[in-house]
């Protein structure tokens, strides 16, 4: 047991964490989730994934669908992009490295690292190609390298945009190429000081004129100081031609994935909410992003529910806070979102897929799966449906952690898994 | 009391006192860096506190030191270690979640550190006196 020491440490934290049994999952889904009272504990409750190899196992998918690993041995795959010719780009990297300010940062950072892959981040894009369309991706080649923790990807008119952890860059791309036509050109710098939440999500507007960049907060709840949060916890709108940018929506603690709704052109986001106020607070959410909207962080959560950990307070901001559209449940850690299409099959045609990396701040783990949130009339409607699951086995071991999801127009869901360093493809059986 | 024991006991006072001051500065300014200072000062105080506790426990085996004042000193050091550790956990909370409990505990622990040092040093004085 190589993990004996961290286990002992985790056991200690369990023992010290204030009494209380399990953290039942309260079906905290939809537009009006139950929000329990705030809880403070002497030690945050932790439930860290125990990694294991897949061996001959695989994630589970609904009847009528098949799953296959189309790329393995990647270097921390995060987000994926389907190119027009069907090739798949995979962004690989591990960013962050925020300084440890408190004794707690050292202990908690060590414990949390036990639930992630030990592989070094690739800082590259890998291209996967299935030339004959049989669902096997026979080509796996490095498309671009020497990037800085690339995450968000978008393609607009032969221009491939890559959101590094410190800058938005652009490559010229010719359809069918396995390398970009030239070196990257910087579109704009992105906020990167400290970079507590380092991922930079990306989506292009329907007309391609604007790029939306999700920028996470620099702390859980302002514990690195208010000054560190200037320009953070927001979505930027970047002019693709000039690189000029402005805040498009604010108060979004960690907008980890963005998507444009087909038909309406509306921007949607999945957002990771704050920790350490209980196993069932605060719900991570899926929401349409209103231009100029303020979504509460840090002053309040789920609309106007004040977070007493923030000083100085700002009642005006609290009063202005918008309630998100759809709760995914607390601590699920949604890191991917993609709109579906009719090629995915009737039952899963209208809605979004959401990749849930899985919880740490909760005794009973949640997330660790890809869910489908059904839509009707362009809005979420109904509880989420498990679409790819079984990343945590009945033996309590965790074999994968979903991150980015993409929908192939030809009818397949592509899931990046940054624990097993695999890309999975789920397609209807024809 | 052994001079090393005396040193360790007295050394708990500056960091625990510093934690009170920086906790107060945090409540007065909301600048979170003061809270970070407190976190480290408390850890520093605990290092000396636990070392002093070990000295006390070793000293417990020596019959001539089982006087009333030694027992009081030992109890105070034990209280410093327990409450100081709880205070360290309180200070591990994010932002204002450390308050007001953090400041209250910091004051209590600092007062205990002063008291333990005074009581401990008084046993020193008794031993030196004829």
On the question of pLDDT at A420 being above 60, the answer is yes
Q: Which residues of A touch B (CB under 8 A)?
A: 16, 40, 42-43, 101-104, 219-226, 276, 308-312
Tens digit of each residue's pLDDT (9 = 90 or more) over A214-244: 999 999 999 999 999 999 999 999 999 999 9
pLDDT given at position A1:
32
On the question of pLDDT at A2 being above 60, the answer is no
pLDDT given at position A18:
38
Candidates A102, A103, A310; nearest CB to B96: A310
Tens digit of each residue's pLDDT (9 = 90 or more) over A367-397: 999 999 999 999 999 999 999 999 999 999 9
pLDDT given at position A36:
94
Q: In percent, how much of chain A has pLDDT > 90?
A: 86
Mean pLDDT of A153-167: 97
The rounded distance, in Å, linking the Cα atoms of A310 and B96 is 6
pLDDT given at position B66:
59
pLDDT given at position A6:
38
Number of domains comprising chain A: 1
Greater model confidence, A42 or A127: A127
pLDDT given at position B64:
61
The rounded distance, in Å, linking the Cα atoms of A275 and A407 is 30
Mean pLDDT of all residues belonging to chain A: 93
pLDDT given at position A40:
86
The rounded distance, in Å, linking the Cα atoms of A2 and A242 is 52
| Chain A positions in Cβ-Cβ contact with residue B40 (cut-off 8 Å) | 102-103
How many Cβ atoms are within 10 Å of A206's Cβ, its own excluded? 15
Mean pLDDT of A244-254: 98
pLDDT given at position A178:
97
Tens digit of each residue's pLDDT (9 = 90 or more) over A252-269: 999 999 999 999 999 999
Mean pLDDT of A405-411: 97
| Chain A positions in Cβ-Cβ contact with residue B91 (cut-off 8 Å) | 102
Tens digit of each residue's pLDDT (9 = 90 or more) over A3-34: 333 333 343 443 334 334 456 666 899 999 99
Q: What is the CATH number of the domain that holds A297?
A: 2.120.10.30
The rounded distance, in Å, linking the Cα atoms of A368 and A232 is 27
Greater model confidence, A187 or B123: A187
Instruction: State how beta strands A210-215 and A234-239 pair.
Output: antiparallel
Candidates A102, A221, A311; nearest CB to B39: A102
Mean pLDDT of A35-48: 89
pLDDT given at position B123:
73
Is this complex scored with an ipTM above 0.90?
no
The rounded distance, in Å, linking the Cα atoms of A276 and A220 is 9
The boundaries of the domain holding residue B59 are 3-128
Q: Flag whether A165 is in a domain.
A: yes
| Chain A positions in Cβ-Cβ contact with residue B43 (cut-off 8 Å) | 103
* A417 confidence band (pLDDT: 50, 70, 90): very high
The boundaries of the domain holding residue A289 are 44-428
Q: Flag whether A253 is in a domain.
A: yes
3-state secondary structure of B61: coil
Ranges of chain B whose pLDDT falls below 70: 63-66, 124-130
Of A14, A99, A102, which to mutate for an interface test with B (greatest number of B Cβ within 10 Å)? A102
Number of domains comprising chain B: 1
Candidates A221, A225, A308; nearest CB to B31: A225
pTM over 0.95: no
| Chain A positions in Cβ-Cβ contact with residue B30 (cut-off 8 Å) | 226, 311-312
B32-60 and B101-128 helices, crossing angle to 10°? 30
């Amino acid at each position: 047991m190589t993990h004996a020491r961290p286990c002992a440490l985790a056991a200690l934290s369990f023992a010290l964490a204030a009494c209380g049994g399990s953290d039942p999952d309260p079906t905290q889904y939809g537009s009006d989730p139950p929000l329990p009272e705030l809880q403070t504990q002497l030690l945050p409750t932790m439930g860290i994934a125990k990694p294991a190899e897949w061996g001959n196992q695989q994630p589970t998918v609904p009847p009528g669908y098949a799953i296959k690993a189309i790329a393995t041995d990647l270097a921390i795959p995060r987000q994926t992009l389907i190119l027009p010719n069907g090739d798949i780009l995979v962004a690989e990297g591990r960013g962050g490295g925020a300084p440890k300010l408190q004794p707690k940062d050292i202990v908690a950072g060590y414990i949390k690292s036990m639930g992630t892959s030990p592989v070094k981040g690739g800082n590259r894009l890998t291209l996967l190609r299935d030339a004959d369309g049989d669902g096997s991706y026979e080509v796996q080649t490095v498309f671009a390298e020497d990037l800085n923790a690339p995450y968000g990807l978008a393609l607009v008119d032969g221009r491939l945009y890559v959101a590094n952890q410190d800058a938005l860059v652009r490559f010229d791309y010719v359809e069918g190429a396995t390398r970009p036509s030239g070196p990257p050109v910087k579109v704009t710098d992105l906020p990167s000081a400290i970079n507590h939440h380092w991922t930079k999500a990306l989506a292009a507007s329907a007309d391609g004129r604007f790029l939306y960049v999700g920028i996470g907060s620099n702390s859980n709840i302002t514990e690195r100081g208010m000054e560190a949060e200037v320009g953070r916890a927001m979505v930027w709108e970047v002019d693709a031609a000039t690189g000029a940018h402005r805040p498009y929506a604010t108060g979004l603690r960690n907008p980890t994935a963005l998507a444009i709704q087909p038909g309406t052109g509306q921007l949607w986001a999945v957002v990771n909410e704050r920790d350490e106020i209980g196993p069932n607070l605060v719900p991570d959410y899926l929401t349409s992003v209103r231009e100029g909207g303020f979504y509460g962080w840090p002053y309040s959560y789920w609309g106007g529910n004040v977070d007493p950990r923030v000083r100085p307070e700002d009642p005006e901001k609290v009063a202005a806070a918008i309630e998100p559209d759809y709760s995914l449940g607390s601590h699920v850690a949604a890191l991917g979102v993609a709109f579906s299409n009719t090629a995915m099959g009737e039952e899963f045609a209208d809605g979004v897929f959401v990749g849930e990396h899985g919880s740490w701040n909760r005794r009973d783990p949640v997330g660790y799966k890809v869910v489908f949130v059904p839509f009707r009339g362009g809005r979420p409607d109904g509880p989420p449906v498990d679409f790819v699951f079984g990343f945590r086995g009945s033996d309590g071991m965790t074999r994968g952690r979903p991150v980015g999801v993409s929908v192939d127009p030809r009818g397949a869901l592509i899931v990046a898994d940054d624990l097993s360093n695999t890309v999975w493809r789920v397609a209807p059986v024809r | 009391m052994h001079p090393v024991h005396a040193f360790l006991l007295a050394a708990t006072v500056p960091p625990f006192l510093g934690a009170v001051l920086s906790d107060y500065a945090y409540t007065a300014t909301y600048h979170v860096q003061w809270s970070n200072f407190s976190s480290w000062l408390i850890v520093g105080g605990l290092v000396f506190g636990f070392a002093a506790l070990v000295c006390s426990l070793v000293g417990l085996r020596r019959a001539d030191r089982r006087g009333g004042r030694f027992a009081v000193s030992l109890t105070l050091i034990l209280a410093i270690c327990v409450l100081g550790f709880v205070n360290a956990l309180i200070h591990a909370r994010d932002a204002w979640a450390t308050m007001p409990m953090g400041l209250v505990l910091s004051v209590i622990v600092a007062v205990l550190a002063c008291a333990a040092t005074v009581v401990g040093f008084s046993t020193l004085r008794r031993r030196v006196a004829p």
